[in-house]
Amino acid sequence: MSVESLLYNLNCTKAIAFNHVAKTVFNRISEPIVINIRKHSSEEFVSRNLLRGMDYLRYPQLNKGLAFTMAERQALGIQGLLASGVQTQEQQLEICRYSLSRFKNNLNRHLYLSELLDTNERLFYKLLGSDIPKYLPLVYTPTVGLACQRFGLVYKRPKGIFISIHDKGRIYQILQNWPCPTVRAICVTDGERILGLGDLGAYGMGIPIGKLSLYTALAAVPPSICLPITLDVGTNTQSLLEDPLYIGLREKRVRGQAYDDFIDEFMEACCKRYSRNVLIQFEDFALMNAVRLLDKYKNSYCTFNDDVQGTAGVVVAGLIAGCRITKKKVSENIYLFLGAGSAGVGIANLICDAMAEEGVKEKDAIDKIYLFDVDGLLSNKRQGGVPSHATKYGKDMEPTKDFGAFVKSIKATAIIGVSTVGGAFTPEILKQMAQNCERPQIYALSNPTIKAECTAQQAYDHTEGRCIYASGSPFPPVKYNGKEYHTGQGNNSYIFPGVALGVLACQAHHVPDTMFLAAATCLAKNVKQEDLDMGRVYPSLTDIPDLSNKIAVEVIEEAYKLKLAGMYPKPKDLMKFIMDYIYKTGYDNVKPDFYDYPKAEGVHVKSIEEMVKSMKGSK
């Protein structure tokens, strides 16, 4: 055998072996390498000739189930692998709705939807979009909290990346293991403060998965560019360390410099793998890390913290919309917070920004804002002082832990609960708010529902039906004095999907607070009078996809204004630009588009014999 033949056979053997290994590996994961048939402005795509017929059944991004037509089945070589019936997507949606209705609890409905996402991606997002108020609570709060607590039972296949503290020094290599190289949006948690449930460690993976599913369901961000990540640095919850179902590291949380070095490496690895303007959303980090990490990275990376900035955006939007009811400016209220963590301080900061838009100086704005934490009023005179993240809100007042008495003494007109202490807004406090002003504003934002500072019904009952109320989780309609009210849900979902869409579409380098103020203002402008009349300061959840597009436009405008956009030139029609960018949930027609070239006219093609004779004659 010649050397050339030997090398040829060796290369063939290597190719066959590699192909076998690749198929074995990729058949065991939930995502193929790159399977985006529909090209988006920010996505790469692969040639159809790299896909086999079975790929269209195996991968949820391609699968249409019984919606494959007979022609598609025959062209793809999957005829007989599906039942004979052909269904439309609408018929499939009806079956999904019926299946969901048969489950008796929301956790099982959540699991059904998770299985649907693993099977047929476009159908999953089509279903969510068909009734957002109904399905949003199933894929995120409040149901996602229970799913996180049961994550050891429900975990079946990889939907994101787990990076442990012991992977330090190898984070970039781990990111390379994710099969899709076109990631543009990352949602990351370390699981220490999952909703109001505390330290769930690796069980917290349900949060970034849920958040990124809302990117697509509510803002049509292409799901293929999204990556959920959990940083497993241990857990301090002893019951989890002893739980045989727990899937994370069985050790106490790493703190200090080792933790900071780990996060530094993670941030750099993400940028090295996916570019400097990859969007990194921090989610459910504990207070001791949330604010300081945001301050550390926000001017160096494309990053934001939804607990801090997203929550602030939605609350300020409610306050701005509420001005149409109270007939007062944002700066004409006295704000009192129960809870001075990352969310509380983030809201306070954005309220100051909103007052600045009204021409109020920062010091005067801060004078209208008071915060309580577990140790009482943030007073400069209290033992231990004011936490470092909230120093500017420290008051030169005598310390107190009596929240109710303080509501009366400062005549608060708006109380904002981010304490995760259920029932903290007592009837006495609510009655006092009704005495302080004509239209008291009550924001009971803690999640899940059992952690809310008061219910909607309690707020109306104890304020003579005069309150402006919003909560973090949904409450049923309120009946008071013969009238029914549908209170607003101060859900971050109004804000962060649209902000993310705008940032991703224009390839922004950073996500400053002014983008969230622009988003809040846009949201408030889209609250209709009929919304206010029925008792809510937010639009219907059904309107979120349209709102996300409008918010994205405002965010892009802000990005170009601040010279943070990475896409040039600036699109002339930003709404059209967004509509061209977003993900579509309708099925693609995968049948080959056959066509012929036109026949050449007026050209005589010689026969071989004529060609040979002409060649001989020319010699």
Binding residues for (S)-malate: 193, 447, 491
Binding residues: 193, 283-284, 307, 447, 491
From 81, 109, 137, give the residue that closes a domain: 81
pLDDT, tens digit (0-9, with 9 covering 90-100), for 216-253: 999 999 999 999 999 999 999 999 999 999 999 999 99
3-class secondary structure per residue, 10-37: HHHHHHHHHHHHHHHHHCCCCCCCCCCC
CA–CA separation, 600 vs 603, rounded Å?
7
At residue 20, does pLDDT exceed 90? Answer: no
pLDDT, tens digit (0-9, with 9 covering 90-100), for 368-407: 999 999 999 999 999 989 999 999 999 999 999 999 999 9
Q: Does 97 share its domain with 243?
A: yes
CATH assignment of the domain containing 136? 3.40.50.10380
- Its domain, for residue 11, covers 3-81
Binding residues for a divalent metal cation: 283-284, 307
Catalytic residue among 64, 126, 159, 211: 211
Q: Report the DSSP beta bridge partners of residue 444.
A: 417, 471
Both tokens assigned to 247: 């899937």
Q: Does 101 share its domain with 229?
A: yes
* pLDDT for res 392: 95
Average pLDDT over residues 63-89: 95
* pLDDT for res 5: 41
Q: Does 379 share its domain with 524?
A: yes
pLDDT band at residue 473 using 50, 70 and 90 as cut-offs: confident
pTM, 2 dp: 0.88
Helices (H) and strands (E) in the chain — how many of each? 26, 14
Catalytic residue among 56, 125, 135, 140: 140
DSSP symbols for 230-295: EEE-----HHHHT-TT--S--SPPP-HHHHHHHHHHHHHHHHHHH-TT-EEEE-S--HHHHHHHHH
Question: In this structure, are residues 322 and 343 in contact, taking their beta carbons and an 8 Å threshold?
Answer: no
Q: Does 460 share its domain with 379?
A: yes
Q: Does 71 share its domain with 102?
A: no
Q: Does 116 share its domain with 264?
A: yes
CA–CA separation, 133 vs 341, rounded Å?
29
Active site residue 211: yes
Q: What is the mean pLDDT of the chain?
A: 91
| Domain annotation covers residue 125 | yes
CA-nearest of 578, 585, 580 to 501 is 578
Highest mean pLDDT among 24-33, 188-197, 496-505: 496-505
Structural domain count of the chain: 3
Highest mean pLDDT among 10-24, 197-211, 588-602: 197-211
At residue 146, does pLDDT exceed 50? Answer: yes
At residue 551, does pLDDT exceed 90? Answer: yes
Question: In this structure, are residues 280 and 450 in contact, taking their beta carbons and an 8 Å threshold?
Answer: no
Both tokens assigned to 608: 């071989």
| Domain annotation covers residue 613 | no
